[in-house]
A and B are shown apart, each in its own frame.
Chain A
């Protein structure tokens, strides 16, 4: 039975490859029409989860339902109701744009009556009108990505899964791609997308941060920024940066230190009291700190803090 309000329901989902636990008792619910971001470093289990949701991998334990259909028991119904874009561009390079679209229209059994209209719509959406007869091989990366999305949604699926759809695509094309995603979500389509670009994560309604097969944080981007960090964040400018980072990693009261651009971000208990101590600590070691100030954490700070933090706490593998 389709669970109307929720497009994706994951309960205690586990995937093991031999003794390696790729996905470790995952629980998650994605609502209809949501743009849901799946964020995590490489090897965290993002693709494995998405592949299980598309019925391409069999879960080791637990269950997952997509558009109301169980992914292990009824993968064919799941496939009727989803569009999927796998990680690397995987349309056929030796087919023309229009031939790739016709192929997927056929594979999704788009009725003959709607065929031309659907293809015209996909071309329009992907901004590929007039390029129908170009060989797919010759398209720039961003165009290919939009074509792949067009192919994946020809049959108007209620849920789409995008596995790092914008990797290797220039920033402007990336921006345009996200406009498309927002546009589809506004029409009620649920979008489940993995990424490791932080600025893309900001476009999502909700995010799950996954690390070593487990969700370490879940919420809207602003919730994550406000609630997920332990302590407060200090920005430290110092020349040269390398020795300063090395020294500060063992400084008292510093929970974590990382390079962000041309400065350091330190996570500390209390920013106001730590700032003078840090300055003194650096001067003692012959380093000349510049500006030291309290800042609001970005998603990247949250990401770094959570992934390095739990690495230290729970060395699972």
Chain B
């Protein structure tokens, strides 16, 4: 191993990056764009969902129920209408996610001590949202229903507690229940997949395509020096981008950061080595920039997006997929990131994530070094 040769390769690689607008854009603009996109664009919180209400009765009591919906933060009563077709149209064109119909005999039935059914029409295109909305609607109606019961009992001289049992909830780790706190740490994994695998997948393939590889390997530089020299600049860039993303997450999006920067750096460095080795391996095997970049996106970016637990909880996936996620390095990094940011888990307690990452790093580095030979065949 010669440091002179390694530095010569690394310096040339830096010049390639600096002189290529596309690479430079990916290095500088992409991390910030992804942060803003996921920070602002992706919101899994269901708040202020638009609903329409058709109050057939228009009595004091039906208006009371309406007010309960209006005062609930999860609903936004977009319109109160006076006919059925208006509801179906609103559900059709998406201006309402749910429609509530209060029947014409609402107060009459209540007064008579009978049971009244309030109709809820739900747009269940997105089953998850529909489930949540139904749950919220039920809670609103039940709450109102309970009030009426208590009022009735008191009227008849029966003393009752307001609510015999209630749950006293305290949310930990993400106290304000904001999905951005859950999502944003995972963006780091996406950014590093792009920098590490996508950009590096081009480096070796580019040299084969342009014919410069033949010149390069005719010199005494070793395969290991080429690999390390080429990857070193991307490692530095990747770690710099981690710092930028972490800064944005904490300072701009106010995601809690309770862990240590040392732990964050350690986990990120391990994951960076994994994606760099993967990108290098892909580049060596593909020998063609287009194929290499496609493969890199397919086996690093997409799994990091879909299967890492970044947006979708792994525990909710079918069992077969859950098993597949175990061979995805991104899964362990995302898991570590969420713990480091929100829980402040110390390094020693992150072994379930860090050990698999280290194992991936060692195996992939070994395979990558073995895959690249200084021969033309």
Residue of B nearest to A93 (CB): B210
Residue of A nearest to B214 (CB): A86
Contact A99 B15 (CB under 8 A): yes
- A57 and B376 CA atoms in complex are apart in Å by 6
Question: What residues on B are CB-neighbors of A89 within 8 Å?
Answer: 211
Contact A51 B376 (CB under 8 A): yes
Question: What residues on A are CB-neighbors of B213 within 8 Å?
Answer: 90
Residue of B nearest to A86 (CB): B214
Q: Mark A69-106, 1 if CB is under 8 A from B, else 0.
A: 00000011001101011101111111100010011111
Residue of B nearest to A48 (CB): B376
The DSSP consensus for interface residues of chain B is: helix
Contact B4 A109 (CB under 8 A): yes
User: How many A residues, CB 8 Å from partner?
Assistant: 32
* Residue A56 at the chain B interface, CB threshold 8 Å: yes
Question: What residues on B are CB-neighbors of A94 within 8 Å?
Answer: 15-16, 19-20
- With beta carbons under 8 angstroms apart, the residue of A76, A79, A92, A105 that contacts B16 is A92
Contact B2 A109 (CB under 8 A): yes
User: A58 and B214 in contact (CB under 8 A), knowing A79-B219, A95-B12, A107-B221?
Assistant: no
* Residue B377 at the chain A interface, CB threshold 8 Å: yes
Q: Mark A277-311, 1 if CB is under 8 A from B, else 0.
A: 00000000000000000000000000000000000
Q: Mark B1-35, 1 if CB is under 8 A from A, else 0.
A: 01011011101100110011000000000000000
Contact B377 A109 (CB under 8 A): no
Contact B376 A79 (CB under 8 A): no
- Looking at the assembled complex, report how far the CB atom of B218 sits from the nearest CB atom of chain A, in whole angstroms: 4
Question: What residues on B are CB-neighbors of A80 within 8 Å?
Answer: 220
- A86 and B376 CA atoms in complex are apart in Å by 12
Contact A56 B11 (CB under 8 A): no
* Residue B156 at the chain A interface, CB threshold 8 Å: no
User: A86 and B211 in contact (CB under 8 A), knowing A51-B376, A56-B375, A57-B377?
Assistant: yes
* Residue A54 at the chain B interface, CB threshold 8 Å: yes
* Residue B350 at the chain A interface, CB threshold 8 Å: no
* Residue B131 at the chain A interface, CB threshold 8 Å: no
Question: What residues on B are CB-neighbors of A211 within 8 Å?
Answer: none
Which residue of A75, A103, A106 has the most chain B CB atoms within 10 A of its CB atom? Answer: A106
* Residue B298 at the chain A interface, CB threshold 8 Å: no
- With beta carbons under 8 angstroms apart, the residue of B7, B19, B217, B375 that contacts A106 is B7
* Residue A108 at the chain B interface, CB threshold 8 Å: yes
Contact A99 B375 (CB under 8 A): no
Contact A58 B20 (CB under 8 A): no
Contact B376 A102 (CB under 8 A): no
**Which residues of chain B in 212-229 are interfacial with respect to chain A, using CB atoms and an 8 Å cutoff?**
212-222
Contact A86 B8 (CB under 8 A): no
Contact B219 A107 (CB under 8 A): yes
Question: What residues on B are CB-neighbors of A107 within 8 Å?
Answer: 5, 8-9, 216, 219-221
Residue of B nearest to A54 (CB): B218
- Looking at the assembled complex, report how far the CB atom of A56 sits from the nearest CB atom of chain B, in whole angstroms: 5
- A95 and B215 CA atoms in complex are apart in Å by 15
- A104 and B218 CA atoms in complex are apart in Å by 11
- Looking at the assembled complex, report how far the CB atom of B13 sits from the nearest CB atom of chain A, in whole angstroms: 10
- A213 and B377 CA atoms in complex are apart in Å by 19
Question: What residues on A are CB-neighbors of B212 within 8 Å?
Answer: 90-92
Residue of B nearest to A151 (CB): B215
Q: Mark A141-177, 1 if CB is under 8 A from B, else 0.
A: 0000000100000000000000000000000000000
A binding-site residues for B, Cβ under 8 Å: 51, 54-58, 75-76, 79-80, 82, 84-86, 88-95, 99, 102-109, 148
CB-based closest 3 A-B pairs: A106-B8, A84-B218, A107-B219
B binding-site residues for A, Cβ under 8 Å: 2, 4-5, 7-9, 11-12, 15-16, 19-20, 210-222, 374-377
If A56-B375, A82-B218 are given as contacts, then 14 extra A-B residue pairs at C-beta distance below 8 Å, sorted by A number, are A56-B218, A56-B374, A56-B376, A80-B220, A85-B215, A86-B215, A86-B218, A90-B213, A90-B214, A94-B20, A99-B12, A102-B11, A103-B9, A107-B8
Some 28 contacts from A to B, beta carbons below 8 A apart, are: A56-B214, A57-B377, A58-B377, A79-B218, A82-B218, A84-B215, A85-B215, A86-B214, A90-B213, A91-B215, A92-B15, A93-B210, A94-B16, A94-B19, A95-B12, A95-B15, A99-B12, A99-B15, A102-B8, A103-B8, A106-B4, A106-B7, A106-B8, A107-B5, A107-B9, A107-B216, A108-B220, A109-B2
